[in-house]
Amino acid sequence: MNQHRETMLSRVADNLYWMSRYLERAVHTARLIDVDHQLRLDQSPEASSGRWLGLLEALQVEAPENVPLDSETLTFLLTLDRTNPSSLFSCVAAARENLRQVREQCSTEMWEQLNRLFLQVKSTASDEVGLRDSYAFFRTVQEGAHLFQGVTDSTMSHGEGWYYIQLGRYIERTDSVARLIGAHFSRLPHPLDQAVESEEYLEWVALLKSCAAFQAYCKAHTAELRPLRVAEFLLLNSSFPHSVAFSVDRMHAAMTAIADLTERKADQPVRIAGRLLATLSFSQIDEIMASGAIAYVDSIRWQCTQAHTSIQQVYFDYPVEAALVA
């Protein structure tokens, strides 16, 4: 046995992976609601009423029954509601709890940063996430998460544990961006190669901003928004960190690194991620749109689920008999 190889408990890897997924989910939620609040200021109440359903769908939260679908109620449901397991609070709390269970594995700075973020969210009162004051809150969450990522990259060894964090972040990001694109295209069918205008323009800006992509898109294609180009940018751009292609590339890199570090023979996770990466690398946007954007993103999400399952089976929850033979 190689004495110098670091070992990592399966449970620890599992915790780091989920910590990262939950934090990514929390920031995604924060960004979506933040963008939504900004957009609402510019829209008439009628125009914005349909947006809530799209938002709930993008966040995979079932529309609550017996409550008015007004901004205040839904914002609370998605942010501070402790009984909603998908709320921003619940995600940050779950991320922290996962890290707390393995805090000896991360750097002190990482733990302190995530714990601080948690305490900030925990002490936020419900009137601080309303339309009037929410800006500061969402900014805190996003900055807190960025800081955590920076602290992680600069204080933790870029070894196996770090790769599980990468893996969690980019699997979650691939899945949530794909879901967001799907929800948007099904809600707002628009001629693909025509520039969008007036009120609808704001909706497309909001989609890009929800992926932190508006400025990067403008640099690439100017502020003229065509659905085809937006879809191409968010799906296939290989250098923008919130695009699906970029996320899958990182996911694949993390899986390859983990497979090398653990010297495990099972290649299933790498194969699944590699296949997904190849699909994205060789896809043309007009072909994708011709055969249906929604079906395409659904297939990406299905492959994400497969990748997730294979990681569980190979690294986290393998049968003992198999390991003893090896």
Q: How far is the CB of 84 from other proteins (least distance, A)?
A: 17
Interacting residues with other proteins between 61 and 120 (CB under 8 A): 97, 100-105, 108, 111-112, 115-116, 119
The vertex-308 CA angle with 282 and 181, nearest 5°, equals 55
Token pair in block for residue 73: 């109620």
Is the CB of 11 or the CB of 146 nearer to other proteins? 11
Token pair in block for residue 103: 């805090």
Applying CB under 8 A, among 67, 125, 136, 323 the residue interacting with other proteins is 323
Applying CB under 8 A, among 128, 261, 275, 306 the residue interacting with other proteins is 261
Is the CB of 1 or the CB of 41 nearer to other proteins? 1
Q: Does the footprint of other proteins cover residue 8 (CB under 8 A)?
A: yes
Applying CB under 8 A, among 88, 171, 177, 258 the residue interacting with other proteins is 258
Is the CB of 122 or the CB of 271 nearer to other proteins? 122
* Residues 308, 80: Cα–Cα separation, whole Å: 28
CB 107 within 8 A of CB 157: no
Is the CB of 13 or the CB of 78 nearer to other proteins? 13
Cα 254 to Cα 40, 125, 167, 270: the distances in Å are 39, 38, 6, 9
Which of these ranges, 29-37, 256-264, 270-278, 285-293, lies near other proteins under the rule CB under 8 A?
256-264
* Residues 175, 24: Cα–Cα separation, whole Å: 11
Q: Does the footprint of other proteins cover residue 260 (CB under 8 A)?
A: no
Q: Does the footprint of other proteins cover residue 3 (CB under 8 A)?
A: yes
Cα 131 to Cα 62, 101, 205: the distances in Å are 22, 35, 19
